[in-house]
Amino acid sequence: MDGLLHPRAVAVVGASERSAMAGRLTRYLSGFDGPVYPVNPNHRRVHGLPCYPSLLELPGPVDLVLVLVPAARVLSAVEDAGRAGASFAVVLSSGFAEVGAEGRALQEQLVEVAGRYGMRVVGPNCQGLLYRPTGLAATFTAAADGVRQPDSGIAYVGQSGALGGSFLGKARDRGIGLTAWISVGNQADLTTTDAAELLVADPGVRVLACYLEELPDGARWQRLTEQTAAAGKQLVVLRSGRSAAGERAVASHTGALVRAGTAFDLLTRESGAIQVDDLDELLDTAVALTGESRPRGHRIGVITSSGGAGGLAADQAEAAGLSLPELDRAAQDVLAPLIPAFGSTANPVDVTAQVIDDAGQFGAVCEAVAESGEVDAVLVVLTTIGGAAAVEVAEAILRAAERRSTAPFAVAWLYSHEEIAEAGSMLRRNAIPVLDSTTAALRLIARLVPQESRRAEPAAPRGLSRFLDRPSLTEADGARLLDALQIARPRGRIVDPADVETVAREIGEHVVLKVQSPDLAHKSDVGGVLVGVRAEQAGRAAQDMLDAVTAGAPQARIDGVLVQEVLPPGVELLVGVQGGKHGYPPVVTVGMGGTTTELYSDVASALGPLDSGQAVALLRRLRGWPLLDGFRGRPRCDVAAAAAAIASLSQAAAELGSALTEVEINPLVVHATGAVAADLLVTTEPRP
């Protein structure tokens, strides 16, 4: 892959001074430390460089070929690049898969042509790349214009050229010089993950910012996150859109509640990488991660010259999952001589405008709060301080941050960008993020707190695949699976309609009747469930139920009627597991169950498999947890039994792997003693 970032020479096919894009492409390459060969049969010179009629007439070898010609001419250009011995072609031209079937076919031909020569392709429909160590600026984006800032150790890779340009421009405006920047476009050959692995291996890269529009292969993504962690580097991810890799059928409650890409999000979080929600957060978080430390916990100290701004920060901290502990007497005694009596030594620490005007005194306050040992991070909230005064304040913060404190700093500067530009750049170059709102600053600090997440070891195989003998298992079909997993279920039997009353009398005075059909995921929606039916009336009730179901779902195949005992009341949970796909582990979801599951959307998800302790932790994340834990004097539920069922189901999914699409118990009824699977849905992947 050296030919991409460390090419011996670069050629530009379509070089010209007449086109703004082509002109920038050649002009930006003036800083490259090797030969640059413009290629265009219509020009003799481009930007002072000799221009060659074709790639086959260059005076020396070339590793990297940039292609910016109409789509119809790209294949011949790539063919010539291969014949010239290039190892990489960066196709900046558009008109490929992004425009439809015809363009997709052309894109496939492009990859095939390159493959014949062992050449890799970046793009098409991309904006190229930048690599500071070799002075390579192989792009046409106007965001590459301007003064080069000091190297930050931050690299970027992403699919969208436009957003990539925005990221580059924002970095430039904030005084942040990117070490590397790669736009992969349509990913016809080189994927975002490929480029990310290349950048993570680069010794000059400390933080990788990654923008994704399609979900990567799970195994490849896990390998990347492991390589990043092993190298002691940091990964920040911004993801948009949805792809087939993350789509799930929404026939079940779980499928409706768990959004596409959840497995990716959970795997990313488990690795220690940080996910963000917008481009500004991607850049601000990357800046913060270039520092030596991250917050160890959720306690923050707020320092401000504005009581109002400090109050806002205190109000917003809880929503961000952060706390503002009141500083103890020892810390306040250190602060007291530094702050006027009309200020505050508690938390937020209000230094007043008087202290802000004395940079040395303000720096001493910052240092005292950071070294108090009572906070995990320090947020400095500043208002109308600009120009030279802003620079002095920034220098004071930097001096405090350079002490031995392990509490990192962030700044919320609520003032004109122009007035604080120099001060902000100074702070950012030293790994202190500067944001324009307290909300954004608090959210950033919260994201930086390391998240603990782990999976249990898979259990020994139990031959569970023998139970997946149909594409969709009804509750009656799945009884053997529940028994093998040691998950309790109601007593009951599936029978023909004529035998319903006889079996009902054997089971009890009252029974539950359920239509069994592999075509009905939600039986109750079509009148396929009756609860509390008297045994002597069960035959007639079953026939009426079947008539209603047949009328409402005439195409559904009916296997019979399941006659079950009536369970005593309990807390109803949803337990769903989506099988592992595309290299991702299974996703375990729990929630408050029953027919109102989707109404309340009270769910929590984790990667499987889980052990019982992890299952309890997952349940504790639900808003409805108090119902399990003895809400308002009610008896505590048998959480251990519920957790054992969740863990067992997750282990089953881990064993079954890609053969399982989804398994769902809804509800799992949890009593004071025991937990019973009152309904079951299992769907499998079609067998080849």
Question: What's the Rg (C-alpha) of the chain?
Answer: 31
Measured over all CA atoms, what is the biggest interatomic distance in the chain, rounded to whole angstroms?
A: 98
Long-range Cβ pairs for the range 339-344 (8 Å, 24+):
339/365, 344/307, 344/310
Cα dist from 585 to 115, 217, 257, 267, 650, whole Å: 32, 11, 18, 8, 10
With a cut of 70, say whether residue 655 has pLDDT above it: yes
Phi/psi of residue 19, nearest 5 degrees: -100, 135
What's the rounded Cα separation, in Å, for the pair 195 and 170? 21
What's the rounded Cα separation, in Å, for the pair 443 and 440? 5
What's the rounded Cα separation, in Å, for the pair 400 and 361? 11
List helix spans (H) across 508-611.
Answer: 538-552, 597-600
**Cβ distance 602 to 625 under 8 Å?**
no
pLDDT at 250: 35
With a cut of 60, say whether residue 241 has pLDDT above it: yes
Cα dist from 664 to 221, 428, 454, 637, whole Å: 27, 48, 22, 21
Q: How confident is the model at residue 147 (pLDDT cuts 50, 70, 90)?
A: low
Q: What is the mean pLDDT of residues 643-656?
A: 95
pLDDT at 199: 97
pLDDT at 20: 85
What's the rounded Cα separation, in Å, for the pair 536 and 508? 10
Whole-structure pTM value: 0.87
User: Where does residue 446 rank: exposed (0-12), middle (13-18), buried (19+ CB within 10 A)?
Assistant: middle
Phi/psi of residue 564, nearest 5 degrees: -130, 160
With a cut of 70, say whether residue 658 has pLDDT above it: yes
**Cβ distance 352 to 381 under 8 Å?**
no
Which pair of tokens denotes residue 529?
């469930």
pLDDT at 258: 57
Phi-psi region of 514 (alpha: psi -120 to 50; beta: other; left: phi over 0): beta
Tens-place pLDDT, residues 446-464:
999 988 777 889 889 889 9
Tens-place pLDDT, residues 252-279:
444 455 556 889 999 999 999 999 999 9
User: Where does residue 60 rank: exposed (0-12), middle (13-18), buried (19+ CB within 10 A)?
Assistant: exposed
What's the rounded Cα separation, in Å, for the pair 482 and 166? 53
What's the rounded Cα separation, in Å, for the pair 673 and 185? 57
**Cβ distance 95 to 70 under 8 Å?**
yes
> Do you know the residue count of the chain?
688
Q: How far from the centroid of its chain's Cα atoms is residue 587's Cα? A: 14
Sign of the C-alpha dihedral computed for residues 604, 605, 610 and 614 taken in this order: negative
What's the rounded Cα separation, in Å, for the pair 275 and 267? 11
Tens-place pLDDT, residues 72-127:
999 999 999 999 999 999 999 999 999 999 999 999 999 999 999 999 999 999 99
What's the rounded Cα separation, in Å, for the pair 638 and 643? 9
366 SS3 class = helix
Which pair of tokens denotes residue 191?
């994927």
With a cut of 90, say whether residue 504 has pLDDT above it: yes
Over the chain, what is the mean pLDDT?
Answer: 90
Q: How far from the centroid of its chain's Cα atoms is residue 207's Cα? A: 16
**594 vs 660: which has the higher pLDDT:** 660
Q: How confident is the model at residue 305 (pLDDT cuts 50, 70, 90)?
A: confident
Count the Cβ atoms, other than its own, within 10 Å of residue 185. 28
What's the rounded Cα separation, in Å, for the pair 349 and 353? 12
Helices 101-116, 74-83: inter-axial angle, 10-degree rounding: 10
Share of the chain above pLDDT 70, in %: 95
Helical (H) or strand (E) element with 130:
strand 128-131
Buried b (16+ CB within 10 A) or exposed e, 226-246: eebeeeebbbbbbbeeeeebb
Query: Which residues make Cβ contacts (< 8 Å) with residue 146, sequence separation at least 6?
Result: 172
**245 vs 3: which has the higher pLDDT:** 3
Helical (H) or strand (E) element with 171:
helix 161-173
Q: What is the mean pLDDT of residues 224-242?
A: 90
Phi/psi of residue 64, nearest 5 degrees: -120, 125
DSSP 8-state code for residue 8:
S
Q: What is the mean pLDDT of residues 602-613?
A: 93
Count the Cβ atoms, other than its own, within 10 Å of residue 673. 10
Please, which residues bridge with residue 39 across strands? Answer: 13, 52
pLDDT at 76: 97
Which pair of tokens denotes residue 397?
């913060």
pLDDT at 322: 95
Tens-place pLDDT, residues 340-374:
888 888 899 998 877 888 888 999 999 999 988 89
pLDDT at 251: 42
List helix spans (H) across 449-591.
Answer: 479-484, 500-507, 538-552
Cα dist from 508 to 499, 502, 512, 535, whole Å: 15, 11, 10, 7
Tens-place pLDDT, residues 420-434:
999 999 999 999 999
Q: How many CA atoms lie within 13 A of 339 on its CB side?
A: 27
